[in-house]
Amino acid sequence: MWVPELQPDLTAAVVPVGILTTSRYCWAGCSFCRLAIPLPKVPLSRAPVGLTWDQVEAAAPDFDGVTMVKLRGGLSTSQSFDYWIHFIRRLRKHFSGRLMVFSPIELWQYHMVERRSLRDLLRLLKWAGADLVGPGGSETWSDDRRTRWAPYRIETREWLQVVEVAAAVGLDYAVAPMIVPQMEDENWDDYVAVLRTLEPDHIEVKPLQSEGTAWSVMGDASVLETAQVVHRLRQARPELTIYVRLVEENAGDAAEILGAAGADGVVAPQWEVAP
């Protein structure tokens, strides 16, 4: 196994982020998800109510203590897309940093359910103050693995269609490869091949944290496995910013190894507000 040579000046920075979760309920049932509460696919009008601004105000999150806020959630919430546009406009009065909103998965659902064009949805997000759309759905671009990992998520071609429109209206996007234990080299060759055709704002590597997921018997992806993938991605796209998503308590310990492998930062959630 390749091991990076540690150098103190290459230690990755810890990037503090805040999380606003629109809904913990989701019908997709992705194997690697440990955040969502499974819910059968029902009409959105019968889905639970998602996050409200009153809940955000009651939680009083420290917007000044984070450099990015992520608005993310499951696929089951009864609020319309326009509700979230007004929510984002309100959020922008309190937070001036980088704002990541939704992902191609959520946006594709609104596109299909509300029968609105992707261009209109993404232009509204841009108008509301969003900086970039989230990376959900980019864990793998292999249709075979996507079928096994997340069979109800959008297909690769649909994900790529959303980010193409996002870029056209002036929104950035991110990608987030998923690392599972003992993945073969060809998995990353496939990923890099697609990555070379894209211009994401950044890469956010997601090591599997399997506790509470359908993959709990697999264990977690190790720091060294993560470092190997970061090194491969850095060689393929040296100009791109590479972050690694870690739980806060592990972020500082891993920063030296991941920085030596080529990571610019480790993303560490500082707080979450959820319904």
Query: What pLDDT score was predicted for residue 218?
Result: 86
Using the predicted structure, report yes or no on whether residue 14 has a pLDDT greater than 80: yes
Q: Which CATH number fits domain 8-273: 3.30.470.20, 3.40.50.2000, 3.10.20.30, 3.20.20.70?
A: 3.20.20.70
Using the predicted structure, report yes or no on whether residue 93 has a pLDDT greater than 80: yes
- Separation CA 197–CA 82 (nearest Å): 32
Of 129, 141, 52, the closest CA to residue 85 belongs to: 129
- Separation CA 162–CA 168 (nearest Å): 10
Query: What pLDDT score was predicted for residue 84?
Result: 97
Confidence (pTM): 0.92
Count each helix (H run) and each strand (E run) in the chain, helices first.
9, 11
Using the predicted structure, report yes or no on whether residue 148 has a pLDDT greater than 60: yes
**Mean pLDDT computed over every residue of the chain:** 91
Using the predicted structure, report yes or no on whether residue 251 has a pLDDT greater than 60: no
Top-confidence residue, 8 or 74:
74
Cβ neighbours, 10 Å, residue 211: 10
> Strand pairing partners for 173?
133
Using the predicted structure, report yes or no on whether residue 97 has a pLDDT greater than 80: yes
Backbone φ and ψ for 172, nearest 5 degrees, come out as -80, 170
- Contact (CB, 8 A) for 207 and 225: yes
In the predicted model, what is the mean pLDDT of residues 231-235? Answer: 92
In the predicted model, what is the mean pLDDT of residues 254-275? Answer: 90
| Tens of pLDDT, residues 156-184 | 999 999 999 999 999 999 999 999 988 87
Q: Which of 3-7, 10-14, 25-29, 69-73 has the lowest mean pLDDT?
A: 3-7
Top-confidence residue, 128 or 8:
128
Query: What pLDDT score was predicted for residue 247?
Result: 64
| Tens of pLDDT, residues 186-207 | 778 889 999 999 999 999 999 9
